[in-house]
Amino acid sequence: MQDTLFFNKRDLQNKLNRFQEYYNENRVHSSLNRKTPKEMAAIPCGDKNIVSIDNYQWKSHCGGLYKLPIAA
């Protein structure tokens, strides 16, 4: 029996969007002192140049087979 992870492009995009929201807004990270990336982004860091997690673009890999977000 074969499991279906997603049905079409829209279903996959919805699942990726939900995972991105979970990863950045709900899941705490031990490397960030048990804070979420969104919480860390809200903390002023003096004169460091920090990119907002809402400011990204997609970069193609493997001849356009898939894309990963990068800082914009």
Instruction: State residue 5's pLDDT score.
Output: 83
pTM more than 0.85: no
| Calpha distance 49→14 (Å, rounded) | 31
Residue with tokens 């460091």: 48
Q: Give the tens place of pLDDT for each residue, 28-39.
A: 888 888 888 888
| Calpha distance 54→61 (Å, rounded) | 21
Helices (H), the chain: 9-25, 37-42
- Helix, strand, or coil here: 58? strand
Domain boundaries, the chain: 9-71
